[in-house]
């Protein structure tokens, strides 16, 4: 059974640019969540999608957005990148409440 796949694994972008990260959940998992991980702040919740609808949103500026497609694949977009957006972005999927997440390997974004 394939795990959660995130692409790309590494990304280097310049301030002001925008970036799109992709996540393919485990087959059958309809809930996909995104987290930003930094050494200082730990794991910060970005948003959660279920059946193409954003069900939860964290406390991030509007520059951070996401979407989910009918096949449950999800993308997150960050516009007008800032140096502080440099982080590991983790995607996770779950079949439902209480089952815990299965995480992808993450996308390491570096903004220069």
Nearer residue to other proteins within complex by CB, 9 or 15: 9
Q: Are strands 64-68 and 74-78 parallel, antiparallel or unpaired?
A: antiparallel
SS3 state of residue 84: helix
Nearer residue to other proteins within complex by CB, 33 or 111: 33
Give which of 90, 73, 93 is closest to 32, Cα–Cα. Answer: 93
Nearer residue to other proteins within complex by CB, 65 or 105: 105
Spatial separation of the C-alpha atoms in residues 103 and 61, rounded to whole Å: 24
H-run or E-run covering 6: strand 5-7
Q: Which parts of this chain interact with other proteins (CB under 8 A)? A: 31, 33, 35, 42-43, 45, 48, 50, 55-56, 88, 90, 92, 94, 96-103, 105-106
Closest distance of CB 16 from other proteins, Å: 27
Closest distance of CB 67 from other proteins, Å: 18
């Amino acid at each position: 059974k394939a795990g959660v796949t995130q692409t790309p694994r590494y990304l280097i972008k310049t301030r002001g640019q925008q970036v799109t990260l992709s996540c393919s959940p485990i087959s059958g998992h309809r809930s996909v969540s995104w987290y930003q991980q930094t050494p200082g702040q730990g794991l910060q919740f970005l948003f959660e999608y279920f059946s193409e609808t954003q069900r939860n949103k964290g406390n991030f500026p509007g520059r951070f957005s996401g979407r989910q497609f009918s096949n449950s694949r999800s993308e997150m977009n960050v516009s007008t990148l800032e140096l502080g957006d440099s982080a590991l972005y983790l995607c996770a999927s779950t079949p439902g409440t209480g089952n815990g997440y299965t995480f992808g390997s993450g996308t390491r974004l570096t903004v220069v």
